[in-house]
Amino acid sequence: MLTRVQGAWHFRRAVPLMVRPFIGKQEIWFSMRTTSRVTATARAGMVYGMVEQIFQDCRDMSETEEYIRTLEDALTTSDGIISGQDDLITILKRQHELRRVTDALTHYSEFSAFIQTQAEKLRDIGRRIEDLNHKAILNQGRLAEARNTRNELTEAIKQIASMATGMMTMANQAQSIPPSPSVPVDETPKFSEIMESYAESKSKELKNERDSRVMKVTLAQFLEIVGDKPLASYKGKDAHLFIETMRRLPNNYGKNSITPVPVLDSITSADFQEKHAGKDIPRLSDATVEKRVTFLRSLWDYMLPIGHVEKNIWKGFKFKSEKVRAVEDWSEENLTRLMSYPWTTRTFSRTTYAFVTAIAAYSGMRQSEICHLRCEDFVHTDDGWMIYIQEHPPVMVNGKEVKFSPKWRVRKTPWF
C-alpha cells in the first residue's frame, strides 16, 4: 500500500504474524525516496517481489524436516540457555546474600569490639566510683573522729576552766590558811607496788568472785593505759585519759580470747573495722566505765589517809545514767503458752522447768538465784512466807566446786 507522508511516497506492508519472530514485532516501512508516483509504484513493485520471495523461502524452510530439527535444537538450546541464566541468577542472588551476610558479620565484629571497649570503660568508671565511695567513707570517718575530738577538747577545756576557777578560789583562801606540806613524789610507792596488796585486801571484802576478777582487770588496765608512776604523781588528766580510753573499748573485750590482747590494740582494731569494713562495734557503756572507776576511786580513798596521795583524782567526773526499761507483767495468755510449750530437752525435767519459770514470773528473781535455792531459804515470818536470797556453801557438781553469792545483797522476797 502506497501512502504519501510529508510529500514523499511510502510503501506499507503489513508483515504476517507467522514471520514476525524473524523480523521483529513492529511493522516494516520502506521509503521510496521520490515524489513521482510512477517511480514509487515501480520501486514498490520491486519491494513487493522481494518480500514475496522472502515469504516463499520462509514457507519452503518451514516445510523441510532439517529446518524443523534445527529450529527444535535452537529452541532446546535456548531453553538450556534460559535455565542456565536462571541458575546464574540464583547463584548471583546467593552470592549477593552471602556478601550481605559477610558485610553484616564484619559490622557485627566491629560492633562487638566497640561494645567490649565501652564495657571496659564502664568497669573502669565503676572502679573509680568505688574508690570515690571508699574515700567518702574515710572522710566521713575522719569527720566523725574530728567531731569526737572537738567534743573531747570542749569537755577538757570546761574541766580546765572549772579547775582554774577552783584553783583561784583555793589561792584566795590560801592567803589566810597556812600551806599544808605536800607529799614528796619520790617517797610514795609506785602503782605496781601497791596494786597487788590492795587487790588482795579488797577481794576479802567483795563477796562476789566476779567483782574481784573485774577489779584486778581494771587495775591492770589502768597500769597499761596510763603507765607505772609514783602514786603522788598521778593527776586528773591521767584519770581523764583512762576514762576516755575505756569508753572506746569494745564491750566484748576479753570474752572470746584466751590470750589477753592489749587495750590499745583492741581499740585500734575496732576503729579500723568501723571505718573500712562498715561494722558497728559496740563500746563499753558509761555504767560499766563508772563501775571500773569505782574500784580506782576506792584505791585512792584507801591511800589518802596513809599519805601516799594528796587528793582523790577520780572525783568530779560525771557519767551518763542509763534509762531503766519499764517492766511489764506477763499476760495470762503468754504464761499459758510458756507452760504448755512442748518439752524436748533431757538435761532437766519439765517439772523443774515449770517451778523455775513460775518462781521467776511471780518473784522476779534471777535464774541463778532460783537454781541455788535451798529448803531453809523458805522461811515463815510475821509478814508471811518469805524467800531468803543468801549465800550458800560451795557444792561439788561434776567434779567442780560451784559457789553461789547474791549479785547485789542478801534480801528477802515475799512468797505468799
The separation between the first and the last C-alpha atoms of the chain, rounded to the nearest angstrom, is: 150
Quick check: 315 and 159 in contact, CB under 8 A? no
Contacts of 233 (CB under 8 A, 6+ apart): 185, 188
Predicted pLDDT at 16: 44
Phi and psi angles of residue 36, each rounded to the nearest 5 degrees, phi first: -90, 130
Distances in whole angstroms, Cα of residue 404 to Cα of each of 291, 369, 389 = 22, 8, 10
Between CA 349 and CA 353 the distance in angstroms is 6
C-alpha cell belonging to residue 102: 559477610
C-alpha cell belonging to residue 382: 510475821
Predicted pLDDT at 140: 74
Between CA 402 and CA 295 the distance in angstroms is 26
Strand boundaries in 22-63, DSSP class E: 28-31
Q: Which three-class secondary structure state does DSSP give residue 259?
A: coil
Which amino acid would we find at residue 388?
Y
Predicted pLDDT at 25: 33
Q: Where are the alpha helices (DSSP H) in 206-307?
A: 209-226, 236-247, 263-276, 286-303
**HSE value, Cβ hemisphere, 13 Å, CA-based, for 223:** 15
Predicted pLDDT at 74: 77
Cα 12 from chain centroid (whole Å): 101
Predicted pLDDT at 110: 80
Helix then strand then coil, in percent of the chain rounded to 5, is 60, 10, 30
Predicted pLDDT at 241: 92
Residues in the chain where the model's pLDDT stays below 50: 5-6, 9-11, 13-30, 176-181
Predicted pLDDT at 178: 46
Q: What is the DSSP letter of 265?
A: H
